[in-house]
Amino acid sequence: MKRKYDKAFENVIRLQVMSILMANERFDFNGFKEMMEVSDGNLSTHLRTLEKLEYIAVEKSFVGRKPQTNYWATTKGRLAFQEHLNYLENLIKEHKS
């Protein structure tokens, strides 16, 4: 198994977004804003980066009249995140030995 550093998770906001989507089936844009200290623009930029990598998928809908943007992690994204976790764990192990 290759254990390389995934640049997608270098940024702390993208790391947080992906962590949230690993623990929750779906999460909406405002939910992310409630969880993290981030501006709208900054959050959208990072979400778009993850979307382009096909790590997350997005669906826009309406709840009543309010637009809602839901995100979830794709299989590709979940595998990439798992890889990244393995990489981090390995790094810690190497440091200890």
- Nearest-approach distance from CB 49 to another protein, in angstroms: 15
For another protein, the closer CB: 7 or 52: 7
Secondary structure string (H, E, C) spanning the chain = CCCCCCHHHCCHHHHHHHHHHHHCCCEEHHHHHHHCCCCHHHHHHHHHHHHHCCCEEEEEEEECCEEEEEEEECHHHHHHHHHHHHHHHHHHHHHHC
Binding site for another protein (CB under 8 A): 9-12, 15-16, 19-20, 22-24, 27-28, 31, 34-36, 85, 88-89, 91-92, 95
For another protein, the closer CB: 7 or 48: 7
